[in-house]
Amino acid sequence: MIAISRLEGQQDKAPGVAIVTGANSGIGRATALELAAAGFHVYATVRQSKSADRLQELALAAGSHIDVVEMDVSSDSSVAAAVSKILSEVTTVDVLVNNAGVAGNGVVEESTVEQLEAVMNVNVYGALRCIKAVLPSMRAASRGCVVNVSSVAGRLASLAQAPYVASKWALEGLSEELAFELAPFNIRVAIIEPGVTRTPIFAKNADVPDVSGPYRAHYRRMFQLYAVAIPVAADPFEVARVIHRAVTSEDPKLRYLVGWGAEQIAGGRRRMTDEEWVALGAATDDEEYYADFERVFGIAIAPSGG
């Protein structure tokens, strides 16, 4: 059974209108269900309506209503049409959760410009398209919250995931800039930084450019980290509850770490100098790398018996 927390002290009046992108699965679906259960009028966006069948089943089982809207965040016209449709039904959008995203493996040298463009177009430009579409209504209402789902990889350069890391660092910079700019308008920004979370993104992200070339150790170590993490990954509802808290908190923060490894990895990197971080990457032996990783981050990722 899926546990969905409700807003404490919820009044009869709905807390507002929320748009959640990429709501067909994972964190997006969990967030749409979480906010709907808390009384929000949720518009869940998906690229194809049929992919939201499971979302609608879960909402019905939870006694909630969710409106599904087709939207492709990588398309200017699709975002404009979807948000225009929503604003024809409601006067303002109170919460925007930019969750839609894609992964991207590869070391810098072996990543193509086209690969980076594709990842950036969803993870950064997609969020930007949605932000630009909803901000006029938020400013008119003098309220709102923009939630950008980043990653712990937005705080450090995750091994052999250059396209993904570049997109999340860009999203974090965009979000911090946005928070500063929107402060006078009573609109806040929350950056959600999940660690490893149980979502379909991993099944779609098994390919790498070249696992037998000069960077094969980097790819091997990256996949070993996920081999350890995925079986104990955070439930998407854990992230959804943090998003709910970020949206409704009377003492909001800009950044929220959540999920497997997030606090440990971010904390370990924060305690390191840049030079120590580079030195970690210089390890030529896997056992040395795994031992150093555990020493720095407090997480054992060595293969069993290794």
DSSP string, 140-152: HHT-EEEEEE--G
- Helices vs strands, H then E, count in the chain: 11, 7
Cβ burial of 282 (10 Å; 0-12, 13-18, 19+) is exposed
Hey, what amino acid is at 255? R
Separation CA 89–CA 69 (nearest Å): 12
Hey, what amino acid is at 219? Y
226 an active-site residue?
no
Cβ burial of 203 (10 Å; 0-12, 13-18, 19+) is exposed
Separation CA 19–CA 71 (nearest Å): 11
Catalytic residue among 43, 164, 289, 290: 164
Separation CA 76–CA 126 (nearest Å): 8
Nearest CA-CA partner of 261 in 202, 199, 196, 198: 196
SS3 226: helix
Residues facing 46 on adjacent strands:
70
| Both structure tokens of 163 | 């396209």
Q: Which residues are the active-site residues?
A: 164
